[in-house]
């Protein structure tokens, strides 16, 4: 049930649900398009040591594909978990703490993953 103003502005009742819905669909499409190149890269990495992996990841195209996939998947994960928290956690303080933990966890995983790919792709 939407108010007339909500229909005009095309927003949900909390004014953010619609944008989260579309962001999650956008990241899903991005991951769908990137999954095949990521699978190919992972198959190329199988059985290689760190020098071989650095050689494959040294290609800017490969590093960019992996970075895009990581950003899209972590953003997708963050939005999805936030929706679950907002829907099923009822205490306001617990909900706030869980959303903050979700944000910190997502940023930590993203930074660690991006650092690992950049370190391997630079050959250092």
| DSSP sequence for 21-79 | HHHHHHHHHHHHHHHHHHHHHHHHHTT--HHHHHHHHTSHHHHHHHHHHHHHHHHHHHH
pLDDT, tens digit, for every residue of 86-102?
Answer: 999 999 999 999 999 99
Average pLDDT across the chain, whole number: 89
Instruction: Answer yes or no: is pLDDT of 33 > 70.
Output: yes
Q: How many CA atoms lie within 13 A of 1 on its CB side?
A: 0
> What pLDDT score was predicted for residue 6?
61
Alpha-carbon distance values, 20 to 25, 62, 77, 96 (Å): 9, 29, 12, 17
> What pLDDT score was predicted for residue 8?
64
């Amino acid at each position: 049930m939407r108010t007339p103003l909500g229909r005009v502005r095309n927003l949900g009742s909390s004014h953010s649900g619609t944008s989260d819905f579309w962001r999650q669909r956008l990241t899903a499409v991005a991951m769908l398009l990137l999954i095949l190149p990521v699978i190919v890269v992972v198959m190329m990495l199988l059985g290689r040591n760190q020098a071989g992996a650095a050689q494959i990841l040294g290609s800017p195209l490969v590093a960019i594909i992996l970075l895009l996939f990581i950003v899209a998947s972590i953003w997708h994960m963050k939005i999805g978990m936030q929706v679950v928290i907002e829907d099923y956690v009822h205490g306001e303080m617990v909900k706030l703490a869980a959303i903050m933990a979700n944000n910190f966890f997502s940023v930590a995983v993203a930074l660690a993953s991006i650092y690992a790919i950049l370190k391997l792709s630079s050959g250092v």
